[in-house]
Structure formats: C-alpha cells, structure tokens
Structure 1
Amino acid sequence: MLKLEGIATFVAIAEAGSISAAARRLSLSKSVVSERLVELERSLGAALFQRTTRKLTLTQDGSAFFDRAARILAEVNEATAEAAERRGTLEGPMRLSAPVTFGRMHLGPALYPFLALHPGISLTLELDDRRVDAAADGFDAVIRHGVVDDSRLVAWPLARSQRVLVASPAYLERHGRPESLDALAAHRAIYYFNRGIADWTFLGEAGPERIRPPAALRVNNGDVMRDAALAGLGVAMLPGFIVGPDIARGHLEVLDVGRQAPEEVIYLAHSEGRRASAKLRALVTFLREAFGDPPYWDAHLNPARQEAKSVPAPVGTIRTRP
C-alpha cells in the first residue's frame, strides 16, 4: 500500500536531485529518506531512479510516476490548507528563502510575532544570498530584493527599497564630499559583486547613467560592504534597510550627487502554477504592515522624499499581485 509520506519523499528527491538535498528539505536523516524511497519502490514494483555514484536520474517509470505524484501531493496540500481555512486557523509547514542581511535585520524580527499569532504554522527559513529556484528547491515562497525577472514567479510586493551612496565621516574628511557624478567617479568604490560587472546605475534625464569608479572592494555581502564603509575604505551604494541605523547614529553619511539610484522593491514570490495559500497571503499582509509605507528603515535617508505612497510593483514584466 502506498503511503503519502513515501510519495512526498519521492517528489522531494526528484525536485532536489539527491537524497541528501531532499533530507535537508524535509528535515529528516538521509537514512529515513532512503528507507522511504526503497519502501515506495517495493510497493510499486519498479525502480524510480537510476543510481550512479554521482547523481540520481529518474527512470522512465519514475518520470511517469513523478508527474502524477506531484499533482497528487499538491492537491493534498491544498485540501489540507482549505480545511484549515474553513476552521478559521492557519497551520501546517511553510518553507521560505530570504537574503541573509535582510533576513537577519528585518524579516526575522517581523516573523517572530507572526508565528506567535499563528502557533499552528511550522516555519523553515533559509537565509541565502544566492537566487534559489523556488520550485526546484522546494520553497513555498522566496523573499527577494530588486527586480522580478523570472517568468515562473508571481510576486507580491512587500515594501519599497531605496539605495543610497554612503561614506564614513573620516573618509569624507580625507577625500572630500563628491557632489556630482563626475566627482564621484574619482572616488574609491565598495561594490556589491555577484558574478556580474561592478558599477553604479543612476536615473538620468535621458535614461540610466552608469559609472564605474575604481574598486576598493568587491564583495557579495551587504554586511561586509557596510563594515568596509564604516572603516573608511570608500563609498558604498547600499539599501536603507542595511545602513539606516548607521546613518541615524552619524556613523555613515548620505551623499547627494544630483542623481538617485533606481528605487527597488522587496517582494515575496511563489511559483506561477502554485496557488498562494492562506498562510502566504496572511504573511504578505502582516509583513506589509510591519515594514510600513514608507518603510521604517528609510526614515533617516532623506525625510523630504519619504511622502507616503502605495507600494509599487517590481520593475519588470512578470505578473504581480496587489
């Protein structure tokens, strides 16, 4: 007799690509995951994976079974969620991915009261700066900062995000305060660098303007960028949710070069073919209220620009939810 836990384990292995990755996703030991797979294959009388020393690949039987198993599992999860909604409760597992710095500074503190309000929800939160695949990596949703550029996602904007140029008072005393893009080009830059070209983009009258000052540091972590700016290493372009507290304390100063960086959005996104559960919809509402509009972390950036307005949809062509 087939067991639902065995089907769920098989789907997790197929999506994650290995028993180890599936075990991490399911919060189980590798031995338990392997035992469930063996039991399922024994019940079906067929091998579902071709096993090699390096990877698992679906057999013909496994591929045919996966299509239906994934649909069955999705239907069961939706039916469970709908039953909980009818009882007026939010419960069950939820798995999210979010960037490290935003998750540590803002998402975590907002999630704690949400989980206290809904004790039936069991949340797994993975902080990772890489752009995970929401469907393939088994996440109910991902929280990202920037532009929605994946056609497989439906995005729910949570808050606006303003990026600003900052430098320490000590650095500005030594090197002067740039007041134009030409002057900024002569300064030392601290870049966010993640397998791309390091430069800065500003909104110009005729379109985007890009400059590339010499690099003092390239790094793929916002915390390290902020620390480098605090140490006086150079000028950094960072979102307000990272540098807001340092600006408020006077440890970093905002630079005005006559141009603004394009405004971005912090958003929650789920796979296009997946129905947004009541848990996710409740989380979106809760986070929007917790972050505010304008968001609380931008209060010290430029008060004159903080007039209230609705949260915009992310720039791009991907479908968004209000």
Structure 2
Amino acid sequence: MLKLDGIASFVAISEAGSISAAARRLNLSKSVVSERLAELENSVGAALFHRTTRKLTLTEDGSAFLERATRILREVEDAASELAERRGQLIGPMRLSAPMTFGRMHLGPALYPFLARHPGISLTLELDDRRVDAAADGFDGVVRHGVLEDSRLVAWQLAPSRRLLVASPAYLARHGTPTSLKELAAHRAIYYLNRGLGDWTFLDAKDDDFIRPPATLRVNNGDVMKDAAIAGLGLALLPSFIIGDELRRGELQVVDVGRQAQQEVIYLAHPEGRKASAKLRALAQALRQAFGDPPYWDR
C-alpha cells in the first residue's frame, strides 16, 4: 500500500537532487528517507531513480510518477489547510525563496512576528540571489525585487523600490561628480552580475544618451556592491532598501545625472495554475503592512 510519507520523501529527493539533501529538508535521518523510498519503489513495483555513486536521476517511471505525486501532496496539504482555515488557523509547511540582502535586512524581521502569530506554519526560507524556477524547484512562493519577467507567476506587489545612483564622497573627490548621462562614460562602475550592463536604465533616456561606464567589479550580491561603493571603487546603482543607513551617515552620496533610474517593485509571487494558499495570502498582507506605503526604508 502506498504511504504518504513515502511519496513525500520521493518528491523531496526529486527536488533536492539527493537523499542527503532531502533528509535535511524533511528534518529526518538519511536512513529513514532511504527506507521510505525503498518501500515506495517496492509498492509501485518500479525503480524511480537511477543510482550512481555521485547522483540520483529519475527513471522514466520516476518522471511519470513525479507529476502526480507532487499533485497528490499539494492536494493533501491544501485539504489540511482548508480545514484549518475553517477553524481560523493557518497550518502546514510553506517554502519560500528570497534574495539574500533583502531577506537578511527586511524580510526576516517582517517574518518573525508573522510566524509567532501563526505557530502552526512550518516555514523553509531559502535566501539566494539567483532567479529560481518556483514551480520546478518546489517553492510555494518567491519574494523578488525587480520586474516580473516570468509569465508563469502570479504576483502581489509588496512595496515600491527606488534605485539610486550612488558613490562614496572619496570617489567623487578623486574623479569628479558626473551631472549628465554622457559624463558617466568617464567613470568606473560596480554592476550587479545577474543583470549586467543592461541594469543601468534611466527614465526618458535613449541608449545613445550615454555610454555605460566600464566595470571595476561585477558581483551577484547587493551587500558587496554597497561595500565596494563605500570603498571608493566606483558608481553603483542600488535599491534604497540596501543603502538607506549609509546615505544618512554620509558614507554614500546620491549622484544626480538629470534622469531617474528605472524604478522597480518588491513582490511575492506563486506559480500560475496553483491556487494560492491561505498561508501565502496572509503572508502577503502581513508583509505589505510591515513594509508600509511608502516603505519604511524610504521615510
């Protein structure tokens, strides 16, 4: 007979890529997850993974079974959540992805009181600056900063996000302060690696209005960009939620080139075609209230 814990272990192994990683995700021992997988394979009468010394890959039968197994788990979780909702409770697991810097600075502090109010929720939060595939990677929701590019996601806006061109006073003293887009060509820049040169977009500016400065540093983390700018390595285009304290202390200065940077949003999204759980809807509302309008980091 098929057991739900075996199906859950199989899906976790498929998503995590190994039994060890699945065991960490499920907070179980590796031996327990292995036993549940073996029992499931015995029940369905088929090998679900190809096993090598380095990795596990789905067999053809495993791939066919995975889609339905994932749907079964979702249906059971949704059913339990709906019953809890009737009693005015929010319960069950929830898995989120969020960018590293925003997660550390703002999302975490907003999540803690939410989780304290809803102790029945078991949250897994993965901080990573890469753009994950919410559906394929098994996330219930993703918190992101920027422009919603994936049409397979349904998003709630949490807060607006201003981006500011900044540099340290020492850098500007050495190299001068640019006052137009064309003058940027004489400077050096710190770029966000996940977006590159194309991230430097300004309202009402055409591509031939300026030449993007050569890179001193390309990096995929906002904290490192901020620190590099404070160290005087060049100009950086950064969201205000990262640099508010540094601007107030005078460690960074806003550089006015006559155009505003293209503004973005912070949003919480879930995969299209999957009903948003009550937990996720409640989280979106709680985050909007915690961040405020305008958001507290811009006040």
Q: Under TM normalisation by the shorter chain, which class is it?
A: over 0.9
Q: What corresponds to 2:298 in structure 1?
A: 298
1:201/1:208 contact within 8 Å kept: no
Q: 1:210 to 1:101 in 2, by over 3 A?
A: farther
1:183-221 alpha-carbon deviations (Å, 9 max, x no partner): 222112111113744662211256896631122222111
Give CA deviations for 1:57-92 in whole Å, capped at 9, x if unaligned.
333433343333222211111101101100101111
CA 76–130 in structure 1, closer or farther in 2 if over 3 Å, else same:
same
User: C-alpha displacement at 1:54, in angstroms?
Assistant: 4.2
Provide the C-alpha distance between the structure 1 equivalents of 2:156 and 2:104, rounded to a whole number of angstroms: 21
1:310 maps to which residue? none
2:178 is the alignment partner of 1:178: yes
Query: What is the identity percentage for the equivalent residue pairs of Structure 1 and Structure 2?
Result: 77
8 Å Cα contact 1:199-1:213 kept in structure 2? no
What SS class does the counterpart of residue 136 from structure 1 fall into?
Answer: coil
1:17-61 Cα distance to aligned partner (Å, 9 max, x none): 432343343233332221110011122232222323444333343
**Partner AA of 2:298 in structure 1:** D
* Counterpart position of 2:28: 28
* Number of the residue aligned with 1:233: 233
User: Is 2:279 the partner of 1:286?
Assistant: no
1:1-322 mapped onto 2 (5 Å cutoff): 1-194=1-194, 196-197=196-197, 200-204=200-204, 211-299=211-299
Q: How far, CA to CA, are the matches of 2:208 and 2:77 in structure 1? A: 45
**Tell me, what secondary structure is at the counterpart of 2:186?**
coil
Distance change (3 Å), C-alpha of 1:65 and 1:205: closer
Relative to structure 2, which stretch is displaced further, 41-50 or 275-284?
41-50
Conserved? CA contact 2:192–2:218, under 8 Å: yes
SS of 2:190's equivalent?
Answer: strand
Contact conserved, 2:183 with 2:210, CA < 8 A, in 1? no
Aligned amino acid, residue 278 of structure 2:
A
Describe the SS at the equivalent of 2:203: strand
Q: 1:91 to 1:265 in 2, by over 3 A?
A: same
Change over 3 Å in CA distance of 1:271–1:25 after alignment to 2: farther
Deviations 1:99-136, CA, capped at 9 Å, x for gaps: 11000110011111111111111111111111122122
- Distance between the aligned counterparts of 1:280 and 1:146, measured in 2? 20
With structure 1 as the length reference, what TM-score do the two structures score?
0.86
Question: What are the superposed Cα offsets for residues 143-182 of structure 1, whole Å, 9 maximum, x if unpaired?
Answer: 1111111122111111111110111122222222211111
Equivalent residues of 1:50, 1:59 under 8 A apart? yes
Asked if the contact 2:185/2:210 (under 8 Å) is kept, the reply is no
Distance 2:208 2:115 in 1: 41
Structure 2, gaps ≥5 residues long: none
Post-superposition shift, 1:276? 0.6
- Partners in 2 of 1:51 and 1:137 — Cα distance? 21
Instruction: Pick the structure with more helix per residue.
Output: 2
Distance 2:147 2:210 in 1: 17
Determine if contact 2:178/2:184 at 8 Å carries over to the other structure: yes
Give the aligned residue type for 2:268: L
Residues matched between the structures, number: 299
Given the two structures, how large is their TM-score scaled by the length of structure 2?
0.93
CA distance in 2, matches of 1:207, 1:157: 29
Residues 242-285 of structure 1: CA deviation (Å, up to 9, x unaligned): 00111112221111111111111111111112111111000000
Give yes or no for contact 2:171–2:233 (8 Å, CA) kept in 1: yes
Letter aligned with residue 143 of structure 2: I
